[in-house]
Amino acid sequence: MADPIIAKRFEALVLPHLNSAFNVARWLTHNDQDAQDVVQEAYLRAFRYFGGFRGEDARAWLLSIVRHTFYTWHQQNREYAADTTEFEEDLHSLETGHASHDDSPEATLIRNQSRKRVHQALRSLRLEYREVVVLRELEELSYKEIAAIVGIPMGTVMSRLGRGRQQLAALLAPTDQEA
C-alpha cells in the first residue's frame, strides 16, 4: 500500500499534467488508444518511483517518463504501430471548438483544412524532430526542459527544432495547385 503522504504529493504535483502527458503521447503514437496505454503505463512508473523524485519540475520529469515509456512501447509494438491508422474525428469534422457564431461555413472549412495540413505535416516529421517540435510549440517547454526530457544537450534541441521547423515550412509551403 502506498504511503498517503507520497500519494497526496504525487496527486498535487503530477496529476495536473495529465493533459500534457496525453498530448505528447498522442503525437508520438498517432493513436488515442495507444497514447492512453502509454500514459497509463507512464503514470504507473511515475507513481512507483515518485518517492525518489527530488526535482522541482514535475511536468518535465513526467514527460520524460512518458517519452521513455513510448520508446519501450514502440519497440514492443513496432509492427502493430506501422499497420494502424486511426480516423481522427476532430480533424475531419466540420465542427470545432474554435468556431464562432460569425464564421461562415467556408471559413470553418478552410480552418479545418489548414489544421489537417499542419497535423499531417507534423505527423510526417521524423520522430526525433516531431518530439522536440511538439514539446516546444505545443507544450511550450523551454529548451532546457526539452533537453532534460529528451536527454540531449540544449544545442541538439535547438538543432532538431530548427530542422523540424524547416521541414514543417517546406511541407506547408503552398504547392503549384494551391497557388
Give residue 66's identity as a one-letter amino acid code: V
Q: Is residue 10 part of a domain?
A: yes
In whole angstroms, what is the distance from residue 135 CA to residue 71 CA?
16
Q: pLDDT category, 85, cuts 50, 70, 90?
A: very low
Listed in sequence order, the DSSP H helices in 18-57 are: 18-29, 32-49
**Total structural domains in the chain?**
1
| pLDDT over 70 (residue 101) | no
pLDDT tens for each residue of 17-37:
999 999 999 999 999 999 999
Q: Is residue 46 part of a domain?
A: yes
Between residues 58 and 174, which one has the greater pLDDT? 58
pLDDT tens for each residue of 61-81:
999 999 999 999 999 887 554
Q: pTM of this prediction?
A: 0.75
Q: Is residue 8 part of a domain?
A: yes
Rounded to the nearest integer, the mean pLDDT of the chain is 84
C-alpha cell recorded at residue 61: 520529469
Q: Is residue 68 part of a domain?
A: yes
Output the domain CATH number for residue 66: 1.10.1740.10
